[in-house]
Amino acid sequence: MQFLLGFNAIGERLAEFEWGALMIKVGLGALKILAIYIVFLIVRALGNRIIEKAFTKYEQKENVSVGRAQTLQHLTKNILGYILIFVFVVTVLQILTIDVTAIIAGAGIVGLAVGFGAQGLVSDVVTGFFILLEKQIDVGDYVTTGSFSGIVEQVGLRTTQIRGFDGTLHYVPNREITSISNHTRGNMQAIVDIGISYNDNIDQAITVLQETCDQIASGDDNIVEGPNVLGVQTLGSSDVVLRVIAKTKNMEQWGVERKLRKAFKEAFDANGIEIPYPHQVNVEMKEHSTSN
């Protein structure tokens, strides 16, 4: 019977329920969401404006191709967008009194595991962003990174494609590009080391080499500076090594080196200077009777 009394009480309580407070609460919540949405729109617009200005300035200052600047600007705007949407959704959910913390915390565990696994991906994009931004490599550059050398075919946010000399296409994730050696940034050095016999006169050899150098230099546009004989680089076990260096146009260093090697060999032949084979002094021990 007391239960009936209890149910009786329910009716009263329902009547007493604070509908007004609820309505105010709902109304306030809606207002809050609206306000946050407006703030969201303003911040996004402002952020995009700032990004655009920064990139326009960067484009003018650094003389970057429009395509590259567009890629970078696009990425930056996207990231800003995602961050703002995330903040907006979480805030709205909170106002709806749904406790997002647990979801996020729960997601966090999976997220962390994934994060560890996916950190390579993030690392790729971060590195790729800076490779593009700092113009470290361009399509067509001849570069070396890690164990790969070749012509850059494509620079992406995640992978860089390098075409090796033998025709192989190397897909290198950007995170693997710790250091880049770009061989297409200015003139290159051609280096030729050539050995003469210990019996030859060093001064004569240097004169012959230098004359050959001068002759070649006068007839080759690819040579920017030199070639010049530096002097005795090493006293080898069988030869005296002389070094010749020349500054050449980019990518022409190998051709120049080949030309110099041929010319030096022929000049030495003409002047009777020997490029010696490895030498060995043989001490003959004639009488070898029983044991050593």
* Residue 276 Cβ vs a copy of itself, minimum distance, rounded to whole Å: 7
When the beta carbons of 87 and 217 are compared against a copy of itself, the nearer one is 87
CA distance 154 to 162: 7
* Residue 60 Cβ vs a copy of itself, minimum distance, rounded to whole Å: 20
User: Rule CB under 8 A: is residue 219 a binding residue for a copy of itself?
Assistant: no
Residue 119: other Cβ atoms inside 10 A: 11
* Residue 152 Cβ vs a copy of itself, minimum distance, rounded to whole Å: 13
CA distance 265 to 214: 15
Q: Is 2 exposed, middle or buried (0-12, 13-18, 19+ CB in 10 A)?
A: exposed
* Residue 250 Cβ vs a copy of itself, minimum distance, rounded to whole Å: 8
- Which residues touch 159 (CB under 8 Å, ≥6 apart)? 124, 171, 172, 173, 174
Site of tokens 């996004």: 44
Among 104, 139, 204, 215, binds a copy of itself (CB under 8 A): 104
Among 34, 42, 85, 98, binds a copy of itself (CB under 8 A): 98
Q: Which residues in 8-37 contact a copy of itself (CB under 8 A)?
A: 9-21, 23-24
User: Rule CB under 8 A: is residue 173 a binding residue for a copy of itself?
Assistant: yes
* Closest to 263 in 3D by CA, of 220, 232, 292: 220
* Residue 223 Cβ vs a copy of itself, minimum distance, rounded to whole Å: 13
- Which residues touch 266 (CB under 8 Å, ≥6 apart)? none
At residue 145, what are phi and psi to the nearest 5 degrees? -145, 125
Size of the site for a copy of itself (CB under 8 A): 134
User: Rule CB under 8 A: is residue 122 a binding residue for a copy of itself?
Assistant: yes
* Closest to 68 in 3D by CA, of 143, 120, 149, 130: 130
Residue 258 is which amino acid? R
* Residue 151 Cβ vs a copy of itself, minimum distance, rounded to whole Å: 12
Burial 158-182 (b: 16+ CB within 10 A, else e): ebbbbbeeeeeebebbbbbbeeeeb
By CB under 8 A, which span of 40-48, 49-57, 207-215, 263-271 interacts with a copy of itself? 263-271
Among 61, 66, 140, 178, binds a copy of itself (CB under 8 A): 178
Among 61, 179, 218, 219, binds a copy of itself (CB under 8 A): 179
When the beta carbons of 108 and 211 are compared against a copy of itself, the nearer one is 108
Q: Which residues in 221-260 contact a copy of itself (CB under 8 A)?
A: 230-235, 237-238, 240, 247, 250, 253, 255, 258-259
Among 33, 191, 217, 267, binds a copy of itself (CB under 8 A): 191
Residue 23: other Cβ atoms inside 10 A: 10
* Residue 146 Cβ vs a copy of itself, minimum distance, rounded to whole Å: 7
User: Rule CB under 8 A: is residue 139 a binding residue for a copy of itself?
Assistant: no
